[in-house]
Chains A and B, each alone.
Chain A
Amino acid sequence: MGRGGSRASPAAAAPPWHALPDEVWEHAFSFLPADSDRGAAAASCRSWLRAERRSRRRLAVANCYAASPQDAVDRFPSVRAVEVKGKPHFADFGLVPPAWGAAAAPWVEAAADGWPLLEELSFKRMVVTDDCLEIIAASFRNFQVLRLVSCEGFSTAGLSAIASGCRNLRELDLQENEIEDCSIQWLNLFPESFTSLVTLNFSCLEGDVNITVLDRLVTRCHNLKTLKLNNAIPLDKLANLLRKAPQIVELGTGKFSADYHLDLFLKLESAFSGCKSLRRLSGAWDAVPEYLPAFYCVCEGLTSLNLSYATVRGPELIKFIGRCKNLQLLWVMDLIEDRGLAVVASSCNKLQELRVFPSAPFDAAEQVSLTERGLVDVSASCPMLESVLYFCRRMTNEALITIAKNRPNFTCFRLCILEPHTPDYITHQPLDVGFSAIVESCKGLRRLSVSGLLTDNVFKSIGAHADRLEMLSIAFAGNSDLGLHYILSGCKSLKKLEIRDCPFGDKPLLANAAKLETMRSLWMSSCSLTLGACRQLARKMPRLSVEVMNYSRGACPLDSLTDESPIETIYVYRTIAGPRSDTPACVQIV
């Protein structure tokens, strides 16, 4: 290998790239940040496909019916961490019938068989049974992380299996699940020798836990960084636990209400002052204003504050939030009102994500002074704000235009005006212009939820401008088929579309059938679809699964219905697994 000179044989010094051993490619692929990048690499040629699939360690299955568990195990034999999501998003609001599906069992069984070295398992909106948890506990000798989000179907008996069986468990993260309480003291079943816990989140559990056992567990797990308690843990016990775990980074308080007693206040204050690493705070905070000052010592260090279950309001709340100068994430009830958000705007300049939830979603008479003003203030003064979820009762186009101008860096904008069809409250015009401003200004917008009075025009803007939009939620909007057509024929990056109560019919769906295969899923309920269109769609697009859910018909077989029959709900998704066989009576695949 000389300098200069002839390079007559360029390949002489090294093998040609396509003959490089797999290990080299595997190492190269480990630098690819996103699964989609890895997927693209795998699609280029056979050797890359081979190298990529054998070295893949993390797998995210965004729709449990898009592929079969066996497909996943066969293609990616070395996976160590798997995440599977089940029911469509609208299941969170009760729109999906019970027993719809999304059973975790087939995934757990396939994993137990094909991925014995599995370390992490995460399920979202799926039905996880106690059997599943027992299989998990028995099958993976190095199991470390179990995360269940918005799941149901299991009880404290299943948790006992995890506690007693998973010797290397690091994270047990239970978020917003429906867990049946069998009055089994599952916490007791972590052996005395068990010390590896880093995350323990049982905030959604409704029953009691043995506080002494919890205390011992917290004491011996020196690496515990995240602890999220449930409502059964009273304030004074919280103080004791914090003393045992001053290294805590993320805390979810238990029941945060009690009569004010000075000694309890001082105890709490002292316990919190020892938590120098506390960065994230959440919990159930009922009627607690007098105790908020006990937290003052941690405010400055907080980057994340979730008060979305807190009914606390008034000057104490505002004073508290105003001290949290380093907040990046704030979730709060609308009890904060515009004046509270003005304080957030002036104090929390590092804010990246804001969510404001309705304290009285069903009571229009509730007098909470939260309006468009609050959101305008925050958008004006928080330069890093990029994600918003905002429930309010009134909005104007002008406010939306101002917000769009202030914050072109939005990646997620979800506005929910509580009363459907609400126009601009000053001009009484639809909010088309306002939302159009948002999509035109925020070029990086990935998620959008629209609300209020909207015509087809807003969808024209969205279709034309929202190039990076991946998820769109529409309710009570639009006036004709055109609205849906604009969306499906535009929105280049659209992955998930969920629509309810809009006057969209068969034509735009059929005209844009091919688009649906480029998307993960489409949900349409209470629109103007007929069975005939669903049949046509299914015939045209064999790689789509077209599910029809008709509450009024119950178990009536689809075959007996005519093409003109109206359809209440469709859920369409692409799949390589063919039609699923676990549908309940009220769901049928066309």
Chain B
Amino acid sequence: MELELGLALPTATPPRPPAGKRAFGDAKATLPLFFVRDEDDGGGGDDHGGGGGGGDHETSNNRKRRLVGWPPVKCAHRRRSVGRYVKVSMEGVAIGRKVDVSLHGSYGDLLRTLRRMFLPYDCEGGDGGGGGGFVVTYEDGEGDWLLVGDDVPWEAFAKSVKRLKILAYAVPP
């Protein structure tokens, strides 16, 4: 939930339509001084009825005010380009990263990106669950931790994934 301080009179937010994904968007006629947000939950967040200006996917660094209907891109474009950023952490590494799941089309793609992010000096090939020594896990919508892989079709995974974690395992001799 966002708290906004504005210079002008407060405006009543018009109700969102019950069905339909093209939400009207909040009519923020005020000039917000800043956004104060609850702790960023890291998960890309779901659509809240989609489109419009809804569903903030900004990182905590990016506190731009959102103008209604600006820039003038249609809902379909807006939906695609908002992205689904999820946190990625690696066992034993203090600082995590974020990855935009929606920019990837398959598990292979995602794993390539993760390898680039966390193992930049790793020249080994390897595929599947992260190659020798590492396995990628994810937290789903129900809070369970599962192995990233072909159990679930990519599209379903991309919609439900909340967080990723890379674990090391000892390769048996």
Contacts and interface: CB of A to CB of B under 8 A. Distances in A.
A501 B67 CA distance: 10
Contact of B14 (A97, A257, A363, A501): A97
B125 to A, nearest CB: 14
B61 A358 contact: no
A568 B69 CA distance: 15
B51 A94 contact: yes
Interface in B66-92: 66-78, 80-83
Interface string B40-70: 0000000000011100001001101011111
B17 interface: yes
A551 B14 contact: yes
Given A95-B68, A257-B105, A362-B58, A152 B22 contact: yes
How many residues of A sit at the interface, in one of the four size bands?
35 or more
Contacts of A500: 69
A554 interface: yes
Given A360-B81, A552-B12, A95 B69 contact: yes
A425 interface: no
A258 B105 CA distance: 6
A551 B8 CA distance: 14
Contact of A286 (B9, B21, B61, B103): B103
A93 B80 contact: no
A357 interface: yes
B73 A361 contact: yes
A359 B80 CA distance: 9
Interface stretch (B106-114, B115-123, B165-173): B106-114
Contact of B25 (A94, A286, A360): A94
B29 A526 contact: yes
A552 B20 CA distance: 23
Given A288-B105, A552-B12, A586-B14, A358 B71 contact: yes
A308 interface: yes
Interface in A254-306: 255-260, 286-288
B20 A178 contact: yes
B64 A93 contact: no
A308 B77 contact: yes
Interface residues of B, number: 47
A287 B12 contact: no
A287 B68 contact: no
A259 B106 contact: yes
A475 B70 contact: yes
Contacts of B155: 255
A236 to B, nearest CB: 13
Given A363-B62, A552-B12, A260 B74 contact: no
A98 interface: yes
A420 to B, nearest CB: 7
A473 B71 CA distance: 13
A200 to B, nearest CB: 19
A537 B19 CA distance: 37
Contact of A287 (B14, B64, B75, B105): B105
A411 B105 CA distance: 38
Contact of B72 (A92, A98, A552): A92
B71 A391 contact: yes
Contacts of B14: 97-98, 551, 554, 586
A43 B126 CA distance: 76
A258 B109 CA distance: 9
B23 interface: yes
Given A259-B107, A309-B80, A586-B14, A361 B25 contact: no
Contacts of A568: 27, 29
Interface string A557-587: 0000000000010000000000000000010
Nearest to A473: B72
Given A94-B25, A97-B14, A362-B82, A287 B70 contact: no
B16 to A, nearest CB: 8
A361 B66 CA distance: 11
Interface string B12-37: 10100101111111010100000000
Contacts of B159: none
B155 to A, nearest CB: 8
B98 interface: no
A418 interface: yes
B70 A365 contact: no
Interface in B149-173: 154-155
Contact of A362 (B11, B51, B66, B69): B66
A131 interface: no
A317 interface: no
Given A178-B20, A259-B108, A288-B105, A94 B53 contact: yes
A332 to B, nearest CB: 12
A258 B104 CA distance: 10
Given A94-B53, A152-B22, A363 B58 contact: yes
A286 B52 CA distance: 22
Nearest to A357: B77
Interface in A159-208: 176, 178, 180, 204
B73 A357 contact: yes
6 tightest A-B CB contacts, nearest first: A257-B105, A287-B105, A93-B69, A551-B27, A94-B25, A286-B105
8 contacts: A93-B70, A98-B14, A98-B24, A256-B105, A287-B109, A288-B105, A361-B73, A361-B81
Interface of A: 90, 92-95, 97-99, 150, 152, 176, 178, 180, 204, 255-260, 286-288, 308-309, 311, 357-365, 391, 416, 418, 420, 473, 475, 500-501, 526, 551-552, 554, 568, 586
Given A98-B20, A259-B106, 13 more contacts: A92-B75, A94-B51, A94-B52, A98-B17, A176-B74, A178-B22, A257-B109, A259-B109, A309-B76, A364-B64, A526-B29, A552-B11, A554-B14
Interface of B: 9, 11-12, 14, 17, 19-25, 27, 29, 51-53, 58, 61-62, 64, 66-78, 80-83, 103-109, 154-155
